[in-house]
Amino acid sequence: MKKKLMIGALTALGVVAMAPASAKHHEEDGAHKETNLRTIITHERRAEDKARDKYRRPAQTIGFFGIKTNHTVVEYVPGGGWYSRILAPYVADNGKFIGLTFAPDPLPFGDEAKERIRNFPTKFPNDVAEWTGMPAAKFTAYTTDKVPEEANGTADFVIIPRMMHNLMRWNLADSEIKVMRNMLKDGGMVGIIQHRAKDGTPFSYADGNKGYLRTDTVVKFMEAHGFELVKQSEINANRKDTADYPKGVWTLPPRYAEGDTDKAKYAAIGESDRMTLLFKKLP
């Protein structure tokens, strides 16, 4: 009897009715985000990008990282915009998308390349606008030596796709990761996708100069810079990749560093074996 009276009282207060409604709203919100992401990934603007989806698995990767539509997301070194064409429209309405690239001066590049990098903050928002059909004003970009103070502590997520090897081999990793850490909120997350050397590979091969890094190298580096490994995934694994080529990861598609030599063999292997790691910024 007491149980019936309790249920009746809760019903009168709207508590029982609200619980399933809240759960339903949560499910609908999740379904909406999944639909939104699927629509973006299948959009015609990605016509040339889709061939690489089977190797890069964007929906699964973004889902694993837990990137939400209301997040402020920083993409590190967007390059040709493969991930930008997904992430920018995904967060544009309720969150914020920021492109971030190297500080140009320490790079082992010529003056012309460095000047292009200096122009990145101006050029990149316009590139994203052209890719997405959204106003350039929705997007922001910085070089790591020109991040304004007000941007620090604002990011929910930083994604670093296939770039840790360059940071290591160009001796930029310490300074660049510190800038990214400063941009993150307390508890903010970093998602790393990186060409993976086999465990036990000599450092002389897995120092970044061949494009490959060992997982333990990346984890220890991030831990030394104030991050905790939260989880890792085999989403982007490719067991066919032996990761031991004289010309490194660039032997595989899409670069084919050996030219037509054994091209069919490398095409059958596909793109590189990749670690997918999620880190959390520690206090």
For residues 152 and 197, state if they share a domain.
yes
The domain that holds 213 is classified in CATH as 3.40.50.150
Indicate if 37 and 56 belong to the same structural domain: no
More confidently predicted of 183 and 32: 183
119, 221: one domain: yes
Alpha-carbon span 23 to 52, nearest angstrom? 36
- The yes-or-no verdict on residue 100 having pLDDT over 90 is yes
User: Is the same domain home to 26 and 106?
Assistant: no
Are 104 and 239 part of one and the same domain?
yes
- The pLDDT of residue 54 is 96
| Mutual angle of helices 84-91 and 58-65, in 10-degree steps | 50
pLDDT at site 19: 41
Same domain? For 220 and 192 the reply is: yes
Q: Do 215 and 244 reside in the same domain of the chain? A: yes
Tell me, yes or no, whether 9 and 101 share the same domain: no
Summary mean pLDDT of the chain: 91
Are 188 and 91 in the same domain? yes
Q: What is the mean pLDDT of residues 114-127?
A: 98
Side-chain half-sphere CA neighbours of 263 within 13 A? 8
Task: Tell me: do 138 and 23 sit in the same domain.
Answer: no
Digit-coded pLDDT (tens) for 71-88? 999 999 999 999 999 999
- Is 37:62 a contact under the CB 8 Å cutoff? yes
CA distances from 86 to 56, 57, 89, 234, 267 (A): 12, 12, 6, 21, 25
Same domain assignment for residues 257 and 165: yes
**251 and 131 assigned to the same domain:** yes
Number of domains in the chain: 2
Asked which of 10-14, 45-49, 149-153 is least confident by mean pLDDT, the reply is 10-14
Domain ranges, residue 178: 50-281
Burial code (b: 16+ CB inside 10 Å, e: under 16) for 92-120 equals beebbbbbbbbbbeeeeeeeeebeebbeb
Q: What is the mean pLDDT of residues 108-115?
A: 97
